Amino acid sequence: MPIEFLNPAGLEQSPYYAQGAIASGRLLFVGGQNGVTKDGEMLEGALEQTKQALRNVLAVLAEGGAARADVAMMTVHLAAEVDPNATYPAVIEVWGQHATPVTVISVVRLGRPGALVEVSAVAAV
């Protein structure tokens, strides 16, 4: 489904995210994805975990008939010790420069031991 991304003139403009989105149709909710391979292996370091978590999000989207362009909102939880700037290269490499609205939250710890990153998303299908 086409998503209309919102970037009001009075707010910061960025090529990496939008301030809001209007979506229609069915919604696909992608549960929090960690940097875990299909074999259950937790990758080392925030950069590699971010890449894998985003790949996992893309896999769930594909299974649901959606793609990156269909994502209306993404939430990234980072363990407190992770510098958000350290994850940006992974986002650019795997997710690309797409104006998805995103919220980044620093948390004390994530549910899975060893997890430094967790990414969830909502897409219009």
Architecture of domain 4-124: 2-Layer Sandwich (3.30)
pLDDT in tens, 69-86: 999 999 999 999 999 888
Q: What residue segments make up the domains of the chain, in order of their start?
A: 4-124
The tokens describing 76, both together, are: 């990234």
Residue of higher predicted confidence among 16 and 113: 113
Residue 85 has a pLDDT of 87
CA nearest to 23, candidates 1, 54, 50: 1
Asked if 119 and 100 count as a contact pair (C-beta separation under 8 A), the reply is: no
